[in-house]
Amino acid sequence: MRVLGIESSCDETAAALVTESGQVLADVVASQVAMHGPYGGIVPELASRAHMQAIIPVIREALSKAPGGLDGVDAIAVTQGPGLVGSLLVGVQVAKALAWSIGKPLVGVNHLDGHLLAVYLRRPEEDSADEGPAMPFVGLLVSGGHTALYRVEGAGDIALLAQTRDDAAGEAFDKAAKLLGLGYPGGPVIDRLASRGNADAVSFPLPMASRKTLEFSFSGLKTALARHVQKHGVPGDEQELADLCASYQGVIVESLVRKAVLACKNQGLNRLVISGGVAANRGLRARAKEACDANGLALFVPPPVSCTDNAAMIAMAAAQRLVAGERDDLSFAVYSRDPDRRRGKFRRDGSLVERT
């Protein structure tokens, strides 16, 4: 089975061809980083317009890289949400038109499910024969818009365990980089500087340090950094800047890894998958490997190209649903927020007061 995946949830226009076993036949991504960089973040209107311009050329390029082109496609997959509504609509409408025109099945995919299953993708440039973790496993999904822990029993059986109460880890990186004048996106720049810095140079509070909860919080850490810069200014010395980045990143990484290891213990599972754009962070990958080795856990992290937004992971998630006999009709709608995400006001004990 060959599935054509389409991804346009945020600022990447992507198309890919993937088999049900996870073999990536083609994977094309058109990035908008240069466009949004001057604004220090994503401008939704600009993102939507860029998707409209790029989506057809991107799909054509992906199809040209595999034998048979569109005639060799057995199904169409597309990101249904969560994401920017305008951006999602571009991909979904094109996917619906393609599926209708060639009379092939259509599957709408939750973007987060795609990230959690990206660990099963097999790209031509990879030498590893590892087929990925057996299920169930604990998944730590870390990106610019999401930070959450899941129990993954199967492609269609993914349960939310905990999430951030406020900001995502990726957002904490981006906002810090903007504050320090490092540009956008902030994660890669801070990671690069942190690799040369001393993580003990600046003391930052560890968010949600209690071991009784799996939830995350990063808004207070951002405030702590802002106050530090307000008091001391942005470091002019390169080593001081590297030390500050290392200290800030170190606290984020420690929070993520501690909660992930605790989730594995609570769930009685010895397999941890880390996915999402922040999973490409070298500091996170190294600390997670260290902690998993110390606790007898097997760690699985996709290569960086599979961590950031891509259409191959969307096709992979859809292929698993298709194998199970599932498909969608042409009437499904996009959604901007994950339906499973809890929203409301949290009490001090961590319980939630639901919004009415």
Asked, for residue 58, whether it belongs to a domain, the answer is yes
For residue 105, give the nearest of 329, 331, 334 by alpha carbon: 329
pLDDT of residue 132: 86
Q: Which secondary structure element, helix H or strand E, spans residue 298, and what is its range?
A: strand 298-300
List the CATH number of the domain containing 164: 3.30.420.40
Sign, Cα dihedral of 109, 111, 112, 115? positive
Please report the pLDDT score of residue 184 as a whole number: 87
Name the residue among 308, 285, 286 with its Cα closest to residue 115. Answer: 308
Whether pLDDT at 343 is above 60:
no
Residue 235, number of CB atoms within 10 A of its CB: 16
The answer to the question of residue 132 being in a domain is no
Same domain, 103 and 145: no
Q: Is 148 helix (H, G, I), strand (E, B) or coil?
A: strand
Q: What would the mean pLDDT of 235-242 be, rounded to a whole number?
A: 94
Q: Is residue 341 part of a domain?
A: no
* Domain range enclosing 292: 137-302
The answer to whether position 256 is within a domain reads yes
Tens digits of residue pLDDT in 16-36 = 999 999 999 999 999 998 899
Question: Which amino acid is located at 297 in the chain?
Answer: L
Residue 285 and residue 148 share a domain: yes
pTM to 2 decimals? 0.90
Which phi and psi (to 5°) does residue 328 adopt?
Answer: -115, 160
Distance of CA 237 to the CA centre of its chain: 33
Taking the C-alpha atoms of residue 19 and residue 3, their distance in angstroms, rounded to an integer, is 6
| Whole-angstrom distance, CA of residue 259 vs CA of residue 348 | 18
How much is the pLDDT for 65? Answer: 87
Do 175 and 98 sit in the same domain of this protein? no
Both tokens of 254, joined, read 């420690």
Q: Which pLDDT does position 68 carry in this prediction? A: 83
pLDDT tens readout for residues 95-131: 999 999 999 999 999 999 999 999 999 988 765 556 7
8 Å CB contact between 173 and 226: no
Within-domain flag for 269: yes
**Residues 50 and 107 grouped into a single domain:** yes
C-beta separation of 317 from 76 below 8 A: no
Please give the span between the terminal C-alpha atoms of the chain, in angstroms, as a whole number.
44
Residues 287 and 310 in one domain: no
The Cα angle at residue 117 between residues 116 and 121, in degrees rounded to 5: 135
Whether residues 164 and 249 share a domain: the answer is yes
Length of the chain equals 356
Q: What is the DSSP letter of 190?
A: H
> Of the candidates 217, 352, 192, which has an alpha carbon nearest to the alpha carbon of residue 283?
192
Is 263 a domain residue?
yes
Alpha carbon 125 to its chain centroid, in Å, reads 22
Q: Are residues 310 and 298 in the same domain?
A: no
Q: Is it the case that residue 290 has pLDDT exceeding 90?
A: yes
Cα-Cα-Cα-Cα dihedral sign, residues 95, 98, 101, 104: negative
Q: Tell me how many domains the chain contains.
A: 2
Average pLDDT, the chain: 91
Structure confidence by residue, pLDDT tens digits, 80-94: 999 999 999 999 999
Cβ count near 60 (within 10 Å): 13
Beta bridge partners of residue 107, listed in sequence order: 77
Residues 161 and 279 in one domain: yes
Q: Write the pLDDT tens digit of every residue in 263-288.
A: 999 999 999 999 999 999 999 999 99
pLDDT score of 185: 87
Q: For the packed helices 219-232 and 169-179, what is the interaxial angle rounded to 10 degrees? A: 10
Percent of the chain exceeding pLDDT 70 equals 93
pLDDT greater than 60 at residue 344: no
- In terms of domains, do 250 and 277 share one? yes
Assess if residue 156 is contained within a domain: yes
Residues 235 and 262 reside in one and the same domain? yes
Q: Based on the domain organization, do 298 and 163 belong to the same domain?
A: yes
Residues 6+ apart with CB under 8 A from 110: 80, 81, 82, 317, 338
Residues 106 and 200 in one domain: no
In a domain, 334, yes or no: no
